[in-house]
Amino acid sequence: MHPYFLINDNNDEKFILSTIYDIAFKPDGTELIAAADCKVLVYDASDGTLLKSLKGHKDIVYAVTYSHTGELIASGSADKSVIIWNDIHEGTLKYSHNESIQCIAFNPFSNTLISCSISDFGLWQQEDKNVSKYKVFSRCCACGWNSTGEIFAIGMFDGTVSLRSETDGELLHTIIRPGGEPVWALTFASPRLDYSQPSKGKINYAPIYYPGEMLVVTDWTRKISFYNMEGQNVPPNEKDLEFDVFSIAYMCNGNFLIIGGMDRNILLYTREGTCLGCVAIMDSWVTVIKVRPKTNTIVVGCVDGGIACYQLMFSTVHGLHKDKYAYRLNMTDVIIQHLSKQINTRINCGDLVKKVAVYNQKLAIQLTDKVNIYNQVTGDKENEPLDYRLVERINQNFECSLLVICAQHLILCQEKRLQCYDFKGLRQREWIMDSLIRYIKVIGGPPGREAILLGLRNGLICKIFVDNPFPLIIYQLKNAVRCLDISQEKKKLATVDENGVCTTVSLQTKEVLFSEPNSSSVAFNTENENLLCYSGNNILNVKAYEFTPNSQKMQGFVVGFSGKKVFSLHLYQMSTIEVPLTNHLYQYLEKHMYKEAYDIAILGVTENDWAILANDALENFEFDIAKKAFCKIKDCRSLMLIYEVEDMVNKGHSKPEVLGYILAHQGRFREAATVYQQNNLEMNALDMFSDLRMFDEAQECMLKASVDTQKAIIRKKAEWAKLSNNMAIAAQMLVDSEDYDKAIQIMIDNDWLDMILQTLRKVDKGNTELLKTIGYYLIKREEFSVATSIFTSINDVRSLLNMHIVARQWDDAFAICQHNPQYTDIVYLPYARWLAEEGRFDEAQEAYKKSGNISEAFSVLNTLAINALKEKRYMDASYYHWKLATTYLVKSQTSPKYIEKFFEYLRNSDIYYAYETVYKCTTEPFTSIRKENLFNCLRYLILNYEDTPHISRFSILFTFTELCKEFKAYKTTRLALDQLTQLNYPLHYESQIHYSFIDIRAAPFTDNEDLLPLCFKCGLHNPLLGKKSCAQCKTEFLYSFFSFDILPLVEIKISDDITDEEAVDLISKEAGDSGVNTSSIVHSQEKTKDIVLTREQLLMLDKTNCFIQKWPKPLRYRYFVNVLQEINITHCDECYKFFLLDDYEEAILENGCCPFCRKKIAIFSDSDKIL
């Protein structure tokens, strides 16, 4: 802190020393006024030139002040008057008090003036001509306004201070000072703007001070006190002074307090009253101190008439280690910043901070009489606040020029001497160097064994270890050391000497790597061995390896370099600058130094730079670097490319082939094609351009290629045309390239018959597969003649046969089979299917048998039967079940288990045949069926029904009851109704069934005897709803499968010693002249036993009245005899169903086949006989 200028108020006529009672600065700081003798002196604040002497008072001027705009000046004098001057220093207004004026002050936000005399004070406002005056009971000694201009304070001679309102001078609060001594100086301190409340649980290592606006009061008890706006004491507590104070003033936004008085010293205090030191010592008492607005300049007025101006320069006290920076703030506080994370914390020390040092987690703060050691407790994790905790205190007053801290020691430097202390204050070691120590830096190491670099004035650079008393000389400069740093791996040393020459040296070879003039500081990157920066002349240079440095403008000098952030100190401000590393990355890439380039990139480059690094490394087969780089930008597609390329390399692909693949993947197709062509890999280039549909480029690049390659281009172009849905162009291109297979396929897909026929002429006859393909297509288009010529030309019998099958040309197909019997099976299976589709099931079954595919025949019949039932075509269902039954009968010849299936399907066939009549009668509006036949049919269904699927038992019983009532079979009606009620029937039939129950009760309990079935063996009448056989002789009733009348047939059996073939032979012989007819032989047997005939009896049978069912094995033949020869009966020799001859002939004439099994019957019109 140095005096700026010194002014004495001299008179040219006679030198007179005048006490300077008051001083005031214009708000803009350009002018200074002083109260000296009876005048108001106006000075130029920049150089101290006296501008004007204002005369108007008749006695000593005690107080002067400026308004907040600088347009008005007020002065108060012992002549009891106050004069208001304008901005051109002319008096404009004057008003008086009853006593001498002691002090005056303008409101900081308005033109309200407070003027205090010995017995009263007044409030003057520019808008009001009258001055409001208020009596006081003690002499006014000092006054001042708070920062908002709402409150003013007056210090009294009796030791009291009154706080009053600006509006009407109302007394708000009164402060009574102990001791009752005069309050000669007071001032307001504005609220603390940089105050931060400690977080919960955080230990505060300094006194808690009041952050709001304070009133600072001093009196002649030699104490300084602090009050809030309510007149209450606030921290800190009262502090003792060693002299009487005449004037106090705050500066630097209220952070520092300047005090002057009787001891002639100008002392600097903190806001809270902690003494920081002496600014200057004057020759006489200090009467007034004022601060120049918005500067660190103070003006002091003395009793001897001297006016001194001082500009306070606050030196920078700071420390830096890696990305942690600590510096002094407001002389008593320390701010610790984590430069990379942009977080900080503040430590209030409550004392003058002399030195600051930081190292890793440690922080040392040297105060006036002690050194505090702090340890970082939080701040390393993400989103965690930075916080330090006091761990040690060394209560010693160290004198040193430099201070550094290690993990367990404190290092003090004083000129040539270096001392090491532990945290208990015990000196551990001392080093004395040959020259003055100019620079010191802790470069790391194990705790308690750290290494320290020293730069001396004689140019010597030494390294010492905390646990070693012997320094090591590592390099010698020609000039004094100004700055130095060591690289991350301790292999390089960078220095700046007194002449500003920056030199980098290899510590292994002592070789100078580079030297650069006009430098002031240097720093290695803490994360990269080959990266450093140096600054000078406001230029920052960043250098990588041996490449040309990159320069940019920067104020200040560099103090640290971490990652891509450079830490620069300019005056008192530490700033962080992010430097671009792109140029350095490219420098490494030009030299193909990919590992070093990656090390630069991880410090922080753009995504585009990462992509350039990754692609460049990939092209030069540095796959590990490329992987890492692509991972950084999350380029999964390129990562997959790397794995593909590595696989190609592992499989032995050549480097040019792999490089071309990489270039193509990057979209550099022409470069890829050039690589392929230069290395005789034309097909690779062709495949690439074809995949990209760049056929023009392919032809351009392949002008000198072979004919095969040119054809390949055309084929690729055709494939593209095909994908683009230009099928005609694609087909023509393929024909031109003689790729007939693909061309024909496209033509077939698009059904271009004419084009196929044209192309057929160009196809080589040896290309049998293609000709087959064309032939198959022609078959689909039913061009059988052309297809026949194709298959004949290539002698493809099988395909020719398949064509005839598709064309349903069975005669031609069988003609071919005659000459080629090995293909018989191929023809019969589709022929059988065709027959089944045409409904020719008998022929189909034969064809299936010839093809050897019995299972499919069965499956077809089963499907037809199921579909017929679903569609309620019961006649067809009966027929299909009959065919299935015959199939099972054939299977039973090899496997007897199928015989049960035969009987099951045969029974179902009979049921469905009979139910067809019932279904038609109940669903169709008109029917030609006689009621008697319908009645017989219903009775047959009731007796033979056994839960047959798709048959409505309700419909059968309901219809049967209606006919029974009509035929007067009342007894049977009751039985049928009883069975009907046991079924689930539709609700709309309920009333009708109930009515039938009621109606039948009135009828007799008898049946019409004409309806009762007669057993033709025993002659017994059976009930209508009896059993399927006679109740007495158990003879099975046999029905006509047209009218369902019971036929006069009786089953006969043959002796066990007679075979079926012999029995048929005996029956077929002509009967003798015995005169015994067939019925007499039957009736001669016992009625309750089976009729068993001998050979003699068989010979006597009339073969015209005998019927034989010649079932194949494992069944036996069955023999039946007509006992009423006047009734003509016949039977079908296929299904063995019995019919009345008239009914059967009617059915044959109508349908030409058996009504049950649909066997075709030939009819001869000349004889009207049925064979």
Return d(Cα 842, Cα 834) in angstroms, integer.
Answer: 12
How many residues belong to the chain? 1171
Cis peptide, bond prior to residue 896, ω within 30 of zero: no
CA 258 to CA 266: how far, in whole Å?
A: 7
Angle, alpha carbons 96-102-108 (nearest 5°): 90
Q: How many CB atoms lie within 10 A of CB 961?
A: 24
pLDDT digits (tens, 9 = 90+) for 731-752: 666 666 666 677 777 777 777 7
What pLDDT is stored for residue 713 in this prediction?
Answer: 58
3-state secondary structure of 907: helix
pLDDT at residue number 194: 58
What angle, 0 to 180 degrees and rounded to 10, lies between the N-to-C axes of helices 740-750 and 768-780? 10
Residue from 1094, 1106, 1123 nearest 1070 by CA: 1106
For the residues 85-89, what does the mean pLDDT come to? 93
CA distance 542 to 535: 9
**In this predicted structure, which of 200-214, 642-656, 801-815, 971-985 has the lowest mean pLDDT?**
200-214
The pLDDT confidence band at residue 683, using thresholds 50, 70 and 90, is: low
Predicted pLDDT of residue 520: 93
Distance CA 1023, CA 1021 (A): 7
Q: What is the pLDDT of residue 1166?
A: 44
Element (H, E) at 662: helix 655-665
Out of 41-55, 56-70, 890-904, which region has the weakest mean confidence (pLDDT)? 890-904
Q: What percent of the chain has pLDDT over 90?
A: 42
Q: Which residue has the higher pLDDT, 427 or 805?
A: 427
How many helices and strands in the chain, by DSSP H and E?
30, 63
Residue 827: predicted pLDDT: 75
**650: β partners:** none
Inform me whether the pLDDT recorded for 792 exceeds 70.
Answer: no
Q: CA of 149: how far to CAs of 113, 146, 986, in Å?
A: 11, 5, 105
Whether 940 contacts 1044, CB under 8 Å: yes
> What is the model's pLDDT at position 203?
40
Q: Find the mean pLDDT for residues 164-191.
A: 92
DSSP 898: G
CB 235 within 8 A of CB 207: yes
Q: Which residue has the higher pLDDT, 993 or 220?
A: 220
Across 654-661, average pLDDT: 83
Token digits of residue 9: 């108020």
**Residue 832 pLDDT:** 74
Residue 1171 confidence class, pLDDT cut points 50, 70, 90? very low
The model's pLDDT over 311-335, given as tens digits with 9 standing for 90+, comes to: 988 888 999 998 899 999 888 889 9
Distance of CA 504 to the CA centre of its chain: 49
Which has the minimum average pLDDT: 313-327, 517-531, 620-634, 780-794?
780-794
Write the pLDDT tens digit of every residue in 459-471.
Answer: 999 999 999 999 9
Q: How far apart are CA 32 and CA 54, in angstroms?
A: 13
pLDDT grade for 844, boundaries at 50, 70 and 90: confident
Say which residue, 843 or 166, is predicted with more confidence: 166
State the pLDDT at residue 952.
Answer: 85
More confident residue, 53 or 757: 53
Is residue 490 within 8 Å of residue 505, measured between CB atoms? no
- Show the domains of the chain with their CATH numbers: 2-192+210-311 (2.130.10.10), 488-579 (2.40.128.630), 580-652 (no CATH), 930-1016 (no CATH)
Is the pLDDT higher at 700 or at 874?
Answer: 874
> What is residue 245's predicted lDDT score, i.e. its pLDDT?
94
**pLDDT score for 73:** 96
d(CA 15, CA 737): 122
pLDDT for 17 equals 66
At a CB cut-off of 8 Å and minimum separation 6, what does 234 contact?
A: 210, 212, 214, 226, 227, 228
For residues 356 and 353, give the distance between their C-alpha atoms in angstroms, rounded to a whole number: 8
Distance CA 306, CA 1126 (A): 174
pLDDT digit string, tens, across residues 415-449: 999 999 999 999 999 999 999 999 999 999 999 99
Enumerate the β-bridge partners of residue 74.
65, 84
Residue 431 three-state SS: strand
User: What is the token pair recorded at 948?
Assistant: 């047959």
Residue 206 pLDDT > 60: no
Calpha distance 492→513 (Å, rounded) = 9
User: Is there a contact between 5 and 309 (Cβ–Cβ < 8 Å)?
Assistant: yes
Q: In whole angstroms, what is the distance from residue 126 CA to residue 129 CA?
A: 7
Q: Is the dihedral of CA 907, 909, 911, 913 positive or negative?
A: negative
Q: Token digits for 268?
A: 């600097």
* CA nearest to 1098, candidates 1057, 1147, 1065: 1065
Residues 6 or more apart in contact with residue 872 via CB below 8 angstroms: 919, 950
Secondary structure (3-state) at 890: helix
Mapped onto helix, strand or coil, the DSSP state of residue 265 is: strand
CA–CA dist 1020, 697 (Å, integer): 107
* pLDDT at residue number 786: 73
Which position has the higher pLDDT, 11 or 396?
396
Q: What is the pLDDT of residues 250-301, one digit of tens each?
A: 998 888 999 999 999 999 998 888 888 899 999 999 999 999 998 989 999 9
Predicted confidence (pLDDT) per residue in 550-588, tens digit: 999 998 899 999 989 999 988 778 888 999 999 999 999
Q: Contact 74/65 with Cβ under 8 angstroms?
A: yes
- The predicted pLDDT at position 430 comes to 94
Evaluate if residue 83 carries a pLDDT over 90. Answer: yes
Distance CA 1005, CA 247 (A): 146
Using 50, 70 and 90 to split pLDDT, how confident is the model at 199? very low
647-669 average pLDDT score: 83
Over residues 11-33, mean pLDDT: 78
Q: For residue 22, give every residue at least 6 positions away whose Cβ sits within 8 Å of its Cβ, in sequence order, or none.
A: 34, 35, 61, 62, 63, 64, 65, 103, 288, 301
Identify the DSSP state of 1036. B
Q: How far is CA 928 from CA 913, 920, 933, 936, in A?
A: 17, 10, 11, 15
> What would the mean pLDDT of 60-77 be, rounded to a whole number?
96
Q: Cβ contacts of residue 962 below 8 Å, gap of 6+?
A: none
Average pLDDT, integer, range 542-555: 92
pLDDT for the residue 767:
66
pLDDT digits (tens, 9 = 90+) for 582-620: 999 999 999 999 999 999 999 999 999 999 999 999 888
Q: Position of tokens 């009668």?
A: 921
Q: Record the tokens describing residue 932, joined without a space.
A: 């008697």
Q: What is the pLDDT of residues 991-1018, one digit of tens each?
A: 888 878 877 777 888 888 888 888 888 8
pLDDT band of 1165, cuts 50, 70, 90:
very low
What are the backbone angles phi and psi of residue 1022, rounded to the nearest 5°? -110, 155
* pLDDT tens-place string over residues 332-370: 889 999 888 889 999 988 889 999 999 999 999 999 899
Residue 103 CB contacts under 8 Å (≥ 6 apart), including other chains? 22, 62, 63, 76, 115, 116, 140, 141, 142, 143
Query: Mean pLDDT throughout 63-92?
Result: 95
Report the pLDDT value the prediction gives residue 705, as an integer from 0 to 100: 54
